[in-house]
Amino acid sequence: NWTMEEFIGKEITRIREICGPKGRVIGAVSGGVDSTVAAKLMHEAIGDRKVVLGTKCRLILTPISQTYRFHAIMVDNGVLRMNEAQQVFDMLNKDLGVNLTVVDASDLFLSRLDGVEDPEKKRKIIGNTFINVFEEEAAKIEAEAEEEEKKGAEAKGRVEWLLQGTLYPDVIESISFKGPSATIKTHHNVGGLLKDMKLKLIEPLRELFKDEVRALGRLLSIPAPLVQRHPFPGPGLAIRILGPVTRDQVKILQQADSIYIEEIRKAGLYDQISQAFAVLLPVKAVGVMGDARTYEQVIALRAVQSEDFMTADWYAFPPAVLKRISSRITNEVSGINRVTYDISSKPPATVEWL
């Protein structure tokens, strides 16, 4: 029996003990609550405050003279939600003081996804490309560390640790269950990196459940909207675009999704819903605008309530909210002339469409 305050103190002490006075830690941040809480905890334990070099996340590189022991890395895979990379960058660097680099790898991801429609292939490509990009970034940090070690001064040591936001249910699952859901975690698998760079794992959340991580996040001053955020899959919008994934399709879905979530928040319904998102269908339907016919794509809206996502019920929105969302999406998102609402529960449907 322990309180969350005690947990923070105990965990920070433990991290400091295992890491010792030298040696760097790298960790991937997705913008979700687990990786953000893990990064903030690591920052509290061994971080030194980063000087914010600019307000745009693109192409910011940490100069060699400014050294940190903890390096958080976010990979922009081109299928994130609207402005997500920038928002996560601002929140971690400015609000939480965490040393986060955002790597814009969207061109690479989108080129590898070109023409791919099979969902499992999309997941594999995104998982593997994530590992490639993350390893490349880790190698850069290691090269800087080596450079510094040669200079002697101010050395923080080599990259020795990999931070992961693994929760207790993930620990259980990876021990006891190697079924289909193993693919869900594929994008987290940086096992090769562990071996090649001889990195040791640090998993500060491995004894916690999701609601405990949220409580921990609140204590660590992580902004409420992030702590309460709906889950977002690693393969991102790529599994919510049912046809080919292109920049144009991503943009359409980002706009529709952002209107949808904004209206849910405005209606005060966000916290009642376990997960809500828009899906872009690869079909065109006829519509009318002025006296002309249009022939454009269809958006499907999904919202579910669920305890553990093994089963889920579709959420019964007040009709006025759906009406507002539909009218905004069809008016504001060019390329969409029709919005439908998904009234399927899990089972037999799944939460995602792919």
Q: Which residues 220-259 are close enough to bind ligand XMP by CB under 6 A?
A: 231, 233-235
| Angle (nearest 5°) at CA 116 between 351 and 300 | 35
Rank residues 31 and 233 by Cβ distance to ligand XMP and give the closer one: 233
Residues in 321-350 at the binding interface with ligand XMP, rule: CB under 6 A: 346, 350
Encoded tokens for 274: 């376990």
Binding residues for ATP: 30-36
| N residues, the chain | 354
Can you tell me which of 82, 184, 242, 298 binds ligand XMP, judged by CB under 6 A?
184
The residue among 124 and 218 lying less far from ligand XMP, judged by its C-beta, is: 124
Binding-site annotation, residues: 30-36
User: Tokens 């609550």 appear where?
Assistant: 33
The HSE-up count of residue 16 (CA atoms within 13 Å, CB side) is 11
Restricting to residues 141-160, name those near ligand XMP by CB under 6 A: none
- The residue type found at 304 is V
Helix/strand/coil for 339: strand
Determine which helix (DSSP H) or strand (DSSP E) holds 244, and give its type and residue range: none
How far is residue 153's CA from residue 253's CA, in Å, rounded to a whole number?
Answer: 49
Q: Which is nearer to ligand XMP, 90 or 120 (CB)?
A: 120
Residue 314 lies near ligand XMP (rule: CB under 6 A)? no
Q: Which of residues 71, 123, 229, 240 is near ligand XMP by CB under 6 A?
A: 123
For the record, the structure tokens of 337 come out as 């002339």
Nearer to ligand XMP, 31 or 234 (CB): 234
Instruction: Report how far residue 71's alpha carbon sits from residue 31's, in angstroms, rounded to the nearest whole number.
Output: 15
Closest approach, Cβ 306 to ligand XMP, in A, equals 8
Give the interface with ligand XMP as residue ranges (CB under 6 A): 123, 184, 231, 233-235, 275, 309, 346, 350-352
